[in-house]
Amino acid sequence: MRRREFVTGLAALALDTTVVHAATPTTLSGRLTQLTAPGTGDNRATYLPDGSALLFASNRSGRSQIWIMDHDGGKPRRFHESGANDYGRVAPSPNGTRFSFSSDRSGQNVVYALNTSRGTITPISDTMAWSFGPSWSSRDRIAYFARQGGKGLNLWTVAPDGSDRRQVTNRPGESRQPWWSPDGTTLAFAADEGTQRFQVRLAAANGADVRALTRTGNWQQPFWSPDGLRLAASAEIDSIGFQILLIGADGGKVQRIEQPEGDNLHPAWSPDGRSIVFTAGRNNEGALWRFDLPT
């Protein structure tokens, strides 16, 4: 397959003037619910498009596999079984019939597309380059990040059948954890510019018009709200560890949700915008929690 590379946004950042500065965010009061118990490495949950269930990665079978459970944490069961390690956040297609995730089944961590009705699984990233973290857009395009196309990690997009693979960043350091806006026109991602302190960046689907949403602290794993007005992210802006924070898409109004003490990671919004699910704790001590926003 011939690869087209769209490498843009290399000259300079167009920094917004309304970026976040260090401050103590206000805390939203809502309902906090623990969905799974720590000890099996449950992590990176994502809702199905209809909101009925949660997909997540877990080590509860002895290796990382993709699981599914009801939105309230009930009836956990294996979603897709393989002899490999299937990692990370699962990205459903807009209609919930196909799914993308990362797996080491080829010996290298590669992004795959799974069609459950056909029972097929297709590698869609370069099988020679480590790849991770897919996001499936409403315009039927998948973004991910890979150790390819530069010295660090860069963002790529691809069609669900693996065709039309395009490089969309080539920046110093690491660009990772892309997530599509609801309309499929904008990518939010974390980039460190070689500093190992990540900030949220927004860019057009082809990588153009890169702009900073945050400038201080350490912000990772941005995830758009369904209305496109806010993002949830895991951020370290003081000495108490990573917290789930909400930030306006214009860089304004930062809020903290109620959450357990310690590191809280990998937020994902529900399709109706009423809840955020996230991982509390790292590695095998991770457990899944849900925060219901006040109405």
Residues facing residue 246 across a β-bridge: 232, 255
What pTM value is reported for the model?
0.91
139-163 average pLDDT score: 96
* Pick among 3.40.47.10, 3.40.50.300, 2.120.10.30, 2.60.40.1180: CATH of 45-234: 2.120.10.30
Q: How confident is the model at residue 271 (pLDDT cuts 50, 70, 90)?
A: very high
199-221 average pLDDT score: 96
More confident residue, 1 or 39: 39
> How high does pLDDT run on average in the chain?
91
Q: How confident is the model at residue 182 (pLDDT cuts 50, 70, 90)?
A: very high
53-70 pLDDT, tens digit each: 999 999 999 999 999 999
222-240 pLDDT, tens digit each: 999 999 999 999 999 887 8
179-197 average pLDDT score: 97
Q: Cα 181 vs. chain centroid, distance in angstroms?
A: 12
Q: How confident is the model at residue 175 (pLDDT cuts 50, 70, 90)?
A: very high
Q: What is the pLDDT of residue 79?
A: 96
4-29 pLDDT, tens digit each: 333 333 333 333 334 444 457 899 99
Q: Which of 6, 40, 26, 61 lies closest to 210, judged by CA? A: 6
Q: What is the pLDDT of residue 21?
A: 44
237-261 average pLDDT score: 93
pLDDT higher than 50, residue 1: no
pLDDT higher than 80, residue 206: yes
113-122 pLDDT, tens digit each: 999 989 899 9
